[in-house]
A and B are shown apart, each in its own frame.
Chain A
Amino acid sequence: MAENTENPKNPKNPKNPENSENSENIYVGDKIPTVVVDGVDIVYRVNGTGPGRGSATAALNRMLRRKKAEKAAGVRTVHAVKNVSFVAYRGEAIGLIGTNGSGKSTLLKAVAGLLPVENGRIHTDGQPSLLGVNAALMNDLTGERNVYLGGLAMGMSREQVKERYEEIVDFSGINEKGDFITLPMRTYSSGMAARLRFSIAAAKDHDVLLIDEALATGDRSFQKRSEARIRELRKHAGTVFLVSHSNKSIRDTCDRVLWLERGELRMDGPTEEVLEAYEAFTGGPDKAKAKPQPQPQPQPQAAVPS
């Protein structure tokens, strides 16, 4: 954590949490917001979850009675993120933590503009991008062509990809054991493929960078390299969001942490403070003790029936 506090763009001193008590007002003056999340709700609708969903008559019944009884017909809504608000500033690295299914990835996708929000607004400076190009790559193509395809998919120009090509291949270390980059990706081991994917994804500089548990790929030496690369990206990026279940990588990378639980923002503060509370919440024996707030929904609109 110590090295991250040296960022000159970041006047906040995380070692001194008490001065950030009414920090909202201070920030407005000297800090530039890059992401403003304003009372956001995200709701998924899932078709065909009613009883007897498999049978044709049930499906027909669903179509005919759609308006009358959406719920009975088996459309279920999942309220994944409930009334979350926060402001992220330039130069911050923000960790998102929470137990599985607490809405971290969903929130990240909404910030990236990839998932529509139900209520509220998300304002961003420039186009936030998720770190990850997996979906654009094709296993049947050579590593080389995938580098180009992935780069173009992220919005780089042909020249930019060409310029970075050597760098990407060297960083991935794919060619350390022979000329693998000219082989189809389906012939790679899962670790090799993961390394190439990360290398392609990390080749572009982003204004607002969103990373979803991308750190834990590859072998140990590659993990070290990728962590260094993320720090480098952080320097160029305005703001970094990191979703991870590894408290260590959150500690290494982030100076502020948002804790989501059941879609609600439970805590927002300096890394150490939030992680301590989170560890108390998840850590076995003190579980009951460390759960001071029950989970009633304080906002009426959060209690959408599902």
Chain B
Amino acid sequence: MSQVLHTPPPPTATAPAVVDDDLAALAARHGLSVSGARPSLREYVRQLWARRHFIAAFSTAKLTAQYSQAKLGQVWQVMNPLLNAAVYFFIFGVLLGTKKGVPDYIPFLVTGVFIWTFTQSSIMAGTRAISGNLGLVRALHFPRAALPISFCLQQLQQLLFSMGALVVILLVFGVPVSASWLLAVPALVLQFTFNAGISMIMARLGAKTPDIAQLMPFVLRTWMYISGVMWSIDHLLSKHNDLPSWVAPTLQANPAAVYIDLMRFALIDTFHSSQLPHHVWLIATGWALLAGVGGFIYFWKAEETYGRG
């Protein structure tokens, strides 16, 4: 055992081949598992569930750390989305006049901005979830899906702060409290599942090609402008009857638009179900399942490669 290995003479040159067989057999005999191998999907889900407290603690920690150096501290959690909404109101409501014909425009706009921001920042954070946390990935062992999910959870918590502000805005603008507000909960659950799924897809892509993170802001901004965040899709479609036939269903089936309009429908009394596409809950659930399950499996398929390089 104490010999110097890799000495030039022939005896040791043949050694590795013999040793290889021995070692693999030895490992098998003692039931050792291969280090760094990808677990089965079932086992992966179990591991992820076992780490649920870490996922929650990590997202809350990230959220708190975000504003801990600011003098106003956690007040920024609410201030940030409000200022954002104010800017959009100034540009689209006042300067461009998209509010024409949309009742309760400010609640309409603010809901749109908040719900859209949730999806947008989840996807942005997801893109950097692995590539931006290589230190963590290379130091500790945990199912990597914990990272994108954790970042989405952070955004969800951020959104709940915004929703608090939104309730105040709704009340100020005279939107009555109603039982339909409860529909916000299933809508958020579906949207969260959708966001987490897309984040996992983007996390895998971003881990392989970090350049994608540079590209995403442009993709997301384009997506925002076609999602009816600051204008009403329903309004546009009823005004222009000469559009090609594929435009209406495409605009309406856009998942971001679906989740935004569901929330508007839940919260704002003047936003009627007639403004929603047909089978809207079915579409929302479909998108959530497709992205959530598909994204999870897609992410898991490359589990063992994260952290390479």
A contact set with B: CB distance below 8 Å: 17, 20-21, 23-24, 28, 32-39, 44-47, 83, 85, 87, 109-117, 121-125, 127-130, 132-136, 138-141, 145, 148-149, 152-155, 157-158, 184, 264-270, 273-274, 277, 293, 296, 298-299
Contacts and interface: CB of A to CB of B under 8 A. Distances in A.
A157 B53 contact: yes
B12 interface: yes
9 contacts: A39-B20, A110-B35, A117-B36, A130-B139, A145-B61, A149-B57, A157-B53, A266-B6, A293-B6
A274 B2 CA distance: 8
Contacts of A32: 30
Interface residues of B, number: 52
A116 B140 contact: no
B139 A133 contact: yes
Given A113-B35, A115-B308, A140-B65, 20 more contacts: A24-B1, A39-B20, A85-B20, A87-B23, A116-B36, A117-B36, A123-B33, A125-B30, A125-B33, A129-B140, A135-B136, A136-B140, A140-B68, A140-B69, A153-B58, A155-B54, A155-B141, A266-B6, A267-B4, A269-B2
A85 B23 contact: yes
Contacts of B20: 38-39, 85
| Secondary structure call for the A interface | mixed
Contacts of A23: 1
A122 B65 contact: no
Given A130-B140, A153-B140, A268-B1, A36 B36 contact: no
A135 B140 CA distance: 8
B41 interface: no
A135 B309 CA distance: 17
Contacts of B270: none
A152 B57 contact: yes
B5 A267 contact: yes
B247 interface: no
B34 interface: yes
B16 interface: yes
B32 A123 contact: yes
Given A109-B138, A153-B142, A273 B34 contact: no
A169 B141 CA distance: 24
Which 10 pairs across A and B sit closest by C-beta, in order of nearness?
A269-B2, A113-B36, A123-B27, A123-B32, A135-B135, A140-B65, A152-B54, A113-B35, A38-B23, A36-B27
